[in-house]
Amino acid sequence: MFINKKRSLKMKRVKLVLMLVVMLLACNQVNAKFGFVNPGMGFGFSAGGAMGVNSDEDKWVLQYCGYLQSKLISPLLLAQVSLGYTRLEAPGVYYANTAMADGRLLFIPFSTERMNPFLYGGFGVSKRFNESGSGFLPMIPFGIGVQTKIGPQMILEASTGYNLSLSDKLDGRERSDNDLGRLSNKKYDGFLGFQIGLVYSGGSNVNADPDKDGLTTKIEKEIGTNPRKADTDGDGLNDGAEVNQYKTKPLQADTDIDGLNDGVEVNQYKTDPRKMDSDNDGLNDGAEVQYQSDPGKTDTDNDGLNDGAEVNKYKTNPVKTDTDGDGLNDGAEANQYKTDPLKMDTDADGLNDGDEVNKYKTDPLKIDTDAGGANDGAEVNSKTNPLDSKDDIVKTTTTIILERGKKVVLRGVNFETAKATLTPDSKNILEMAYNALVANPNVNVEISGHTDEVGNDADNQKLSLERAQAVKNWLVQRGIRSDRMKTVGKGEKEPIADNKTEAGKTENRRMEFYVE
Pair 115, 262 in one domain:
no
Dist CA 168 CA 188 (whole Å): 5
Residue 207 pLDDT exceeds 90: no
pLDDT, residue 56, reads 85
In a domain, 348, yes or no: no
Same domain for 42 and 140, yes or no, is yes
Q: Which of 32-46, 154-168, 176-190 has the highest mean pLDDT?
A: 154-168
- Of 276, 309, 343, which marks where a domain is finished? 343
Q: Does pTM surpass 0.75? A: no
SS3 372: coil
Helices 457-478, 427-439: inter-axial angle, 10-degree rounding? 60
In a domain, 131, yes or no: yes
Domain end residue (candidates: 153, 168, 201): 201
Please indicate, yes or no, whether residues 477 and 504 belong to a single structural domain of this protein. Answer: yes
Question: Within 13 Å and on the Cβ side, how many CA atoms surround 395?
Answer: 4
Domain membership of residue 108 (yes or no) is yes
What local confidence, expressed as pLDDT, does residue 171 receive?
82
Average confidence (pLDDT) over 289-295: 95
Residue 373's pLDDT band (cuts 50, 70, 90): confident
When pLDDT is averaged across residues 270-283 and rounded to a whole number, the result is 95
Same domain, yes or no, for 166 and 66? yes
Judged by DSSP in three states, 19 sits in helix
The domain in which residue 324 lies consists of 217-343
User: What is the per-residue pLDDT for 27?
Assistant: 42
Query: Is 169 found in the same domain as 260?
Result: no
pLDDT at 137 over 80: yes
> Which of 260 and 188 is assigned the larger pLDDT?
260
Q: How many other CB atoms are there within 10 angstroms of residue 428's CB atom?
A: 18
> Looking at the structure, do residues 158 and 254 belong to the same domain, yes or no?
no
Say what percent of the chain tops pLDDT 70. 87
Mean pLDDT score across all residues of the chain = 87
CA 67, distance to chain mean position in Å, is 49
Using 50, 70 and 90 to split pLDDT, how confident is the model at 413? very high
Window from 31-40, 271-280, 373-382, 482-491 with minimum mean pLDDT: 31-40
**Sign, Cα dihedral of 297, 300, 306, 310:** negative
Q: What is the CATH number of the domain that holds 510?
A: 3.30.1330.60
In a shared domain, residues 289 and 403? no
Contact criterion met (CB below 8 Å) for 222 and 206: no
Answer with the one of 325, 343, 361 that is the final residue of a domain.
343
Residue 281 has pLDDT above 70, yes or no: yes
Is 469 within the bounds of a domain?
Answer: yes
Report d(CA 411, CA 89) in Å as an integer: 133
Same domain, 181 and 271: no
In a domain, 428, yes or no: yes
* Confidence category of residue 210, pLDDT binned at 50, 70, 90: confident
- How many structural domains are present in the chain? 3
User: What distance in Å separates the CA atoms of residue 331 and residue 317, rounded to the nearest whole number?
Assistant: 11
What tens digit of pLDDT does each residue of 95-134 get? 899 999 999 999 998 877 778 899 999 999 999 888 666 6
What would the pLDDT profile of 43-73 be if each residue is shown by its tens digit? 999 999 999 988 889 999 999 999 999 888 7
- Does residue 333 carry a pLDDT above 60? yes
- Whether residue 231 contacts residue 225, with contact meaning beta carbons closer than 8 Å, is answered with no
